[in-house]
Structure 1
Amino acid sequence: MGGVRYCVLGSTQAHTAEGSVVVGGPRVRALLTVLAVRAGRAVPVGVLVDEVWGAGAEPPADAVAALQALVGRLRKALGHERVESTDGGYRLAAEPDDVDAHRFTRLAAEGVRELDAGRPGRAAALLDEALALWKGPALADLPDRAAEAARWEARRLDARRAGFAAGLALGEAAAVLPELAALCAEHPLDEPLQALRIRALRDTGRPSEALAAYEEVRRGLADRLGADPSPELRALHAELLAEPAPGPTPAPTRPSAPVSGNLRARLTSFVGREDDISALQDALATERLVTLLGPGGAGKTRLSQEAAERAAAGGAWPDGVWLAELAPVTDPEAVTEAVLGALGARETVLFGAGAEEFRLGEDPLDRLVEQCAGRRLLLLLDNCEHLVAAAAELTALLLARCPGVTVLATSREPLGVPGEVLRPLGPLPEETALRLFAERGAAARPGFTVDDDRAAAAEIVRRLDGLPLAIELAAARLRMLTPRQIADRLDDRFRLLTSGARTVL
């Protein structure tokens, strides 16, 4: 008898080596769901009748005969030998691992054990395999699925938490943070999940945002449950408070006064581009929409933040500089929510009796205009190219309805909004590129200078077209390779440059 795989984490399906099996109508799929969840175990007729018809429907007068008819149809689809008659019931002739729900349970449990044993790489692989089995809502074809499906959804959430924990243990905080933040928005009172988000913010060099996230959770627990944070969260908060604040950057042109908003402290010095920064500052002083154009890796994100912070230091935007990172956003309809999140406006969804009901009925664009109206701020829309139409529509609306808002966008193509000023960004000059390679190389290998092999260093920056991101990634490889070895391996540059970087977009 050939093997059959059964799926109940989504619509109920059966698959053989030859392909999918046509199971039948809703009642037949409900019957298969009940049997598959109890694979290899006898299920009494009474239980089958109750679950196949559900509390909302009246079983037929002769429920036993109706059930026998459904069993006959299921046997016709799967094969008679796969649905066995037992004393007072029926049994699906299958091993638990033939059913995706039980396979998920096994893989998730193994993943958690590996995580507890200090093997996050193996744990992440097992948990990814487990979560990939989900194709939709659990037990979707059961008439009364709510209670049982909720138990499976809770197990899925446990597995996702463990997967995020494995990612943090592997140093992949930047990679897991967008999905983790989205899940936290769905579960604002899940303290273990919120603790993972706070840790991810800390691990990506955003301690102030981590502290703000803790305060958000603390207020939510107090307002909605009248409770204090758990000991785990309080201990994490204490760790954040005990960590030293970032030291002053050595760049002499950085502003001395703090700028309000959500710009993160940069972890490395800024090299070169002084003329580009001055030109951007001049444009932002007179124009309301400036778009910084350039290819991927040209340094648009870093340059835009440096220019915005320096321009804001003079007090041009008393309500701050706010960065909306669009790179993780894939749905054009989610752009407005991403900007609301950057401005901190989504917090209103989490707090106060009835807040959800009030906010859910509002248009996100109206909420965004309400958030920005009457304020003087600079909005930095970063990485617009894959959402250029949605970014353009949102920008045009904001500029029209919020006269105090200025927009600085980074993109590989113009937004095409009336009044847009374009600032193209070219490659670094060779001397500046060499200085960047030298600074990042010294961080990767203490004592390194380009004079160790100036010819190889010059070849590296030329072959990388003066792109800052590529140069920084090449410098990071100096931990293990010499400049000449790096230059000789640049024919396979993608593998060489990205194999050691977990946080490259």
Structure 2
Amino acid sequence: MRYGILGVTQAEDDQGTRIPVGGPRLRALLTALALRPGRTVGPDTLIDEVWAAAPPADAPAALQALIGRLRRALGRDTIVSENGGYRLAATPSDIDLFEFERLVREGKDALAREDPASASRALHTALAVWRGPALADLSDRTAATRPEALRLEATRARIEADLRLGRAPDVVPELKELAEAHPYDETLHALHIRALRDTGRGADALAAYESARRVLLNGLGTDPGPALQALHTELLHPHAHAYSRPQPSHAHAYPQPQPQPQPQPSHPHQYPYPQSEPSPGP
């Protein structure tokens, strides 16, 4: 079985056939278990994540009924009852979130060793895993903060790789939208300015810098940081800086993630959940 929690929660069997998981509470329960694959999750935690601030009067009984419904939907062996709670019989490689994390690490490592082609492939594939907001079926959005931040980080790294491959014309429109959506993100502003420069639009690059400077000054009361200021200096004095425009790459086909299991990441995921929880009292 494979589970998707980067978007509305879903499940697929080993042949890639979608298994219906109906109802928001059932999907919230599956999300809470999939966040901790192969680990025991206590009833109190599951109740908090399924019902948030409005649990039913007999919440433990309601949870047991919901567990029964999830087993009927996915198969009895997929949810294991253990001392202290319940466990999803899965590994991180069965969950799209952890596949995404593995691919991001792979892409960033490739970028660090000056292999932008491999970085671009890995990061395009990682970002294609997303189908919507992370952990969309959980009422409390706190747990979604980290994967959403990593998604933006992966986007920045993917664009960096594409710029190094000479694909500036492909990313200019996207960067304009991203810089507007994240007005205080200096890295995105710098990528946007570089992309404009690399397409021969020096005047537009200077205008983009001035726009970023005003946004930072008006919104945060600060000037652009050293990286943006150095980029501005290069734009003003292009002949004083040795610069070779990246040559376009013709490898524009980006593989999409495949539904087969991936090997378990060598580094455990960093979500701050306990390995197991104590047994509830009598």
Q: TM-score, normalised by structure 1?
A: 0.47
Is residue 153 of structure 2 the alignment partner of residue 158 of structure 1?
yes
1:8-407 alignment runs, 5 A limit: 8-16=5-13, 17=15, 19-55=17-53, 58-145=54-141, 147-244=142-239
AA matched with 2:156: R
Q: What amino acid maps onto 2:103 in structure 1?
A: L
- Cα pair distance change 1:54/1:116, threshold 3 Å: same
Given that 1:75 and 1:82 are in contact with CA atoms closer than 8 Å, whether structure 2 keeps it comes out as yes
Query: Is the Cα contact below 8 Å between 2:9 and 2:31 reproduced in 1?
Result: yes
SS at match of 1:149: helix
CA contact (8 A) 1:24 1:73 kept: no
Percentage of matched positions with identical amino acids? 57
Deviation, 1:24, is: 2.5
Q: Give distance in 1, aligned partners of 2:49 and 2:249.
A: 51
Per chain length, whose mean CA-contact separation is higher, i.e. which structure has more relative contact order (CA < 8 Å, sep 6+)? 2
Deviates more, 1:235-244 or 1:108-117: 235-244
Call closer, same or farther: CA 1:198–1:18 in 2, change over 3 Å: closer
Q: Cα–Cα, structure 1 residues 87 and 173, in superposed 2: closer, same or farther, change >3 Å?
A: same
- What amino acid is the match of 2:178? L
SS in 2 for 1:90: strand
What displacement does 1:114 show? 0.4
- Structure 1 stretches of at least 4 aligned residues deviating more than 4 Å after TM superposition: 498-502
Unaligned runs of 5+ in 2: 241-247, 253-282
Q: Aligned ranges for residues 461-472 of structure 1 at < 5 Å? A: none
- Change in Cα spacing, 1:112 to 1:18, as seen in structure 2 (3 Å) is closer
Query: Cα distance, 1:238 vs. partner?
Result: 1.6
Rg larger in 1 or in 2? 1
Task: Tell me, yes or no, if the aligned pair for 2:165 and 2:249 is still in contact at 8 Å.
Answer: no
Would you say the 8 A contact 2:40–2:82 is kept in 1?
A: yes
Q: In the aligned structure 2, how far is the partner of 1:198 from the partner of 1:229?
A: 13
CA distance, structure 2, for counterparts of residue 169 and residue 151 of structure 1: 27
8 A Cα contact 1:194 1:217, kept in partner: yes
User: Are the equivalent residues in 2 in contact too, given 1:26–1:141 (CA < 8 A)?
Assistant: yes
Question: Do 1:24 and 1:74's aligned partners in 2 also have CA atoms closer than 8 Å?
Answer: no
Match in the other structure for 2:3: 6
CA drift of 1:500 comes to 5.8
Cα distance change of structure 1 residues 46 and 215 upon mapping to structure 2, 3 Å threshold: same
User: 1:230-259: CA deviations, max 9, x gaps?
Assistant: 1111111122122049xxxxxxxxxxxxxx
How much has 1:181 moved relative to structure 2?
A: 1.3
Residue by residue, what CA displacement relative to the aligned partner does 1:32-63 show, whole Å, maximum 9, x if unpaired? Answer: 001111111111111111010012xx211211
Question: How many aligned residue pairs are there?
Answer: 244
TM-score normalized by the length of structure 2: 0.83
SS at structure 2 position matched to 1:85: strand
Aligned-pair CA distance for 1:499: 8.7
Amino acid at match of 1:165: E
Distance in 2 separating the partners of 1:244 and 1:212: 19
The amino acid across from 2:3 in the alignment is Y
Query: Given residue 114 of structure 2, which amino acid in structure 1 is its aligned partner?
Result: G
Separation in 1, partners of 2:46, 2:230: 49
Report the Cα offset of residue 18 of structure 1.
5.4
Deviations 1:148-180 (A, max 9, x none): 223221111101101100000001101111112
Q: Deviations over 1:182-241 (max 9, x none)?
A: 111111111011110010011111111111111111111110110111111111112212
Aligned partner of 1:107: which letter?
Answer: L
CA distance in 2 between counterparts of 1:123 and 1:198 reads: 21
